[in-house]
Structure 1
């Protein structure tokens, strides 16, 4: 069977700057590994269908959109005709029955499309059961794709309470299901150790680091003009936080460090780029600390715009609790940033303290303030770290095209062997 006769179906949820962009007829932004997954198969001539789980009743009336050769379908995740069960919502949630009812409803919707894929690609464990059931109906291969995991952190690092561990059980069960392949991003969350703990067959397991756009560094970039454009005075040191604003990314650590930093460098500005559930709390914290003139919130941006923020920054900071080997770290290195991060997960597989980044042992606000003050007072050190970061990243990481070709070949071979 030729590639033009192949069909792949992706099961996914709404991702930031993906779902919204598709609805507007714009090439998806957000996390590159999401949209690039279906783009590579489209490039090779496959028929590509992407099913996005959402609440159609309140959000989007149309159920199918064609964009750049890919067909997008929206799956209704609302209660719909089971709304009469709303009174039992808490009880149903506790036993996961509401989730099961919704998934059954979505499987029926998928079957009605008549699409018979050669392979089903489940983006996260949320869609594991749906994907496997569908693969049985149409005799297709099924792949589980995980974008990192919190399991290792909950069970082995923080040793969270019993309730937190119970919440990970659905994911743990997923690793024991009969997938043809399991892919977990090596993003610093120790997915390989989780797979080993769950005794995932090594023959069906892949643990890749994400690719990167190697054109993020801009030689002779006019940082002064860009800083003024976003409201940062040309003489002000620019500290940068970039990414989804969420609790485990702990952007609050840097906000709390700002009063100490400002005593030494009163003109310093902290630019926070991104959106998320932590935004309101960060704004409240900023006001409580009297930092409204020193902390600037820039909201979400298109992925193609991140290089300008990276190149304008004096220090890029990643204060996360987990996942410190994320896309953002890789991109900041390739952009030649002076990076300040924490030694959690597998961060030190890529960066070394004092060589191509400043890597703090897990700590709190005081360490961030001291490290930032030291870097702002030592421009030569920043230049050396930036240069080494760029050289490390250029040598170590694959481009997105190279990385996605690896994934395409793996999945294409699964289908060929199945035939």
Structure 2
């Protein structure tokens, strides 16, 4: 009887170890309090979702300011476990990224040799190619967003890209466009582990509010003014100029309208071009620039907008594309209808005719027509906003995204274990 109990105990302990969830480390260069960006959102969404799913989680980020969950909407609720945040220190990351990520990944795996590395870009996952020989039981997931893939042209970077992707258990492309971009750069190397899993949204954080009068006042927008919003870096790819060119026609029919350009003005030459264009079209009183939107104001910003527009274009000479467009989901989550270009990964973010509209890039007349459709029929506009929110809740919460990701990893692990047996 005693031997039977001992044997039962051994079997149970074996099952526990087998089913034990690995410690997950998300390694990133973009993380709050850095505001905005798909990679930052993917990281925080992953950290919170994996923690809720019972995984021990560490976030390793080059961002130096300490993450303070109590200071922002990224906060976990009091009844939820927190994840660990580990700042990665270093200077000149562009030059020494490999060595910094090598050191911190090694440091993590030395403590967690069966750990799971989730690299938010392939370059941060590159050291795993070397480290795997010392930590054969560790696993790597690489997220592929867009620009970090499409800008690769050849040479040594392409060679390193292929090695990294081939060493990953799973490659999660946030759009079908990005998945194809990864595949195109792999040459003759087949990637069965390359899958499409879209970005997500924190639907508790992004939800409609009517508490935006104070923000409108601060931005200098009158109470009954219609607002066309773009929240993005002010760079040529984002297509702000297309929206500006549509304004004269829109203003003739709906004079109480403003175009709100929110986001950091990264490309000064492009900003100067936009301001010159605004002056030439006599639209100075109808365009508002604001560089910085506090995280706590994002709900209000999307909620005060009548339509969210980002008509991005592809810049082939730079390999510059829109990998997904997470702001479309954030706007939809706040009941705001959206208009985007049929370019890059945007078609995966917008269901044309349901959550918003897709138009050809650089097509001013098509953009004007869609804005008229929404402005002329407020009931239809509200319906589209509701459909956008329902679609986000059904398919695009971070919990659903990462449950699917971990389910795909489990399938890979089962195949791996079967192959070794």
TM-score under structure 1 normalisation? 0.72
Offset of residue 78 of structure 1: 3.2
Per-residue displacement from partner, 1:243-294 (whole Å, max 9, x unpaired)?
Answer: 3333322223223433443344333111122225136733652255234432
Q: How does 1:217-236 map to 2 (within 5 A)?
A: 217-218=207-208, 221=210, 226-236=215-225
* 1:405 matched residue in structure 2: 403
Q: How does 1:369-380 map to 2 (within 5 A)?
A: 369-380=368-379
Q: Does 2:119 align with 1:122? A: yes
Cα 1:387/1:11, change in 2 over 3 Å: closer
Deviations 1:109-138 (A, max 9, x none): 654675344222222111232122223223
SS in 1 for 2:132: helix
Match of 2:179 among 191, 207, 227: 191
Maintained 8 Å contact 2:165/2:171 = no
> Does the residue aligned with 2:171 lie in a helix, a strand or coil?
strand
CA–CA distance in structure 1, aligned partners of residues 189 and 24 of structure 2: 24
Match of 1:339 in 2: 338
Is the Cα contact below 8 Å between 2:229 and 2:259 reproduced in 1?
Answer: yes
Deviation readout 1:344-376 (Å, 9 max, x if unpaired): 245445645545423212333344344434543
Q: What aligned pairs does 1:220-259 form with structure 2 within 5 A after superposition?
A: 221=210, 226-259=215-248
CA distance 1:78–1:240, shift in 2 (3 Å): closer
Aligned counterparts, 1:28-67, within 5 A: 31-43=40-52, 46-53=55-62
Q: Does 1:76 align with 2:72?
A: no
Name which of structure 1's ranges 206-215 and 192-201 shifts more when overlaid on structure 2.
192-201
How many residue pairs get matched?
375
Aligned residue among 129, 133, 156 for 2:130: 133
Distance 1:141 1:415, change over 3 A: farther
CA 51–232 in structure 1, closer or farther in 2 if over 3 Å, else same = same
2:177–2:344 CA contact under 8 A, matched in 1: yes
SS in 1 for 2:335: coil
Counterpart Cα distance in 2 of 1:270 and 1:196: 38
**Is contact 1:341–1:358 with CA below 8 Å preserved after alignment?**
yes
Sort the Cα spacing of 1:77 and 1:174 in 2 relative to 1 into closer, same or farther, 3 A: farther
CA distance, structure 1, for counterparts of residue 160 and residue 302 of structure 2: 35
| Residue 105 of structure 1, CA deviation | 6.1
| Equivalent residue number for residue 145 of structure 2 | 148
**What is aligned with 2:287?**
295
Cα deviation 1:130-159 (Å, max 9, x = unaligned): 1222232233433242242248977xxxxx
Note if contact 2:173-2:198 (Cα within 8 Å) is conserved in structure 1.
Answer: no
Structure 1 counterpart SS, 2:336: coil
Gaps in structure 2 of 5+ consecutive residues: 1-16, 70-81, 314-320
Secondary structure of the structure 2 residue equivalent to 1:337: coil
Indicate conservation of the 8 Å contact 1:243/1:275, yes or no. yes
2:26 counterpart of 1:10: yes
Which residues of structure 1 form unaligned runs of 5+?
22-27, 55-59, 80-97, 155-162
SS in 2 for 1:211: coil
Give 1:317 deviation, angstroms: 0.6
Cα 1:131–1:320 shift into 2, 3 Å: same
SS at match of 1:137: coil
Q: Compute the displacement of 1:66 (Å).
A: 9.6
Cα 1:237/1:170, change in 2 over 3 Å: farther
Partners in 2 of 1:214 and 1:194 — Cα distance? 29
CA distance in 2, matches of 1:212, 1:224: 25
| 1:383-402 paired onto structure 2 within 5 Å | 383-395=382-394, 397-402=395-400
CA RMSD of aligned residues (A): 4.1
1:136 match: secondary structure: coil
Do structure 1's residue 306 and structure 2's residue 298 form an aligned pair? yes
